[in-house]
Amino acid sequence: MTERRRARMRIRRQRIYVVRRIVVAVCALLCCVLAVFSTIDAQRVWPRGESVAQGQAEVQGQAQKVSQSAQQSASRVSASASSLDRQQVPVFNQAIQEQRDKEAQRARWTNPTGKQPDLSQYSDLSVKVSIAKQEVYVQSGGETIYTMIASTGLNDTTPRGNYVIGMRGDHFYNPAEGMGADYWVRFNGPFLFHSVPTGANSGEYMEEEGNKLGQPASHGCVRLTVADAEWFYNQIPEGTPVTIA
């Protein structure tokens, strides 16, 4: 190899080395430039993120204010409603309660005292009247099978003793007393088992008299609820023993 060729090869190697160094330097410069631009972009984005966060915080704050305002409004409405309730409901409830009490009181002297048995299924029947308890007991073989609330005579005018069931009728009216009754069953002369008092016509029950059921109230007869009087009228056999004490 000649000296000239060797010189050319050295020159090529030096050029290649220089080119490589230039390429490396350019790459390094590009990396630095890219890093700078990335930093600038990040700095630009960062304030916007804070603005968004601030916007969200403001929206949340507004939402909380609206919620608080709604709660305060609801509280004011609730307080107003409570005030209205306090002013009006007691009167309204009192009227309802009075109506319910009236209906319950009426039911007490119109409905059966309890579950009425079928007396055709029993034998050895008898009737006992307790003046002290204002109750009538229908018994079979000496065992009570049905108890009825009753009203006997004022001033102990219901006769005490032993009697038997006699004739019966669906209605009577006594002009002298200004009242009558439905479903009457005689046990001793003018003394009867019958419903709470009526006016001149059957079914015209006197509420004031009916409300007295359970305490002495008659002129000597034994008053029963309307339903019990009808049941007694339909089912108690004639000749059944009656004891009043």
Question: Binning pLDDT at 50, 70 and 90, where does residue 25 land?
Answer: confident
pLDDT in tens, 67-108: 565 566 556 645 555 555 555 555 568 888 888 888 898 999
Whether 164 has a pLDDT exceeding 90, the answer reads yes
Q: Cα dist. 182→27, 53, 134, 172 in Å?
A: 123, 89, 20, 7
pLDDT given for residue 33 in this prediction: 66
Question: Active-site residue numbers?
Answer: 194, 221
- The mean per-residue pLDDT over the stretch 145-171 comes to 98
- Look up residue 132 and give its two tokens: 């002290």
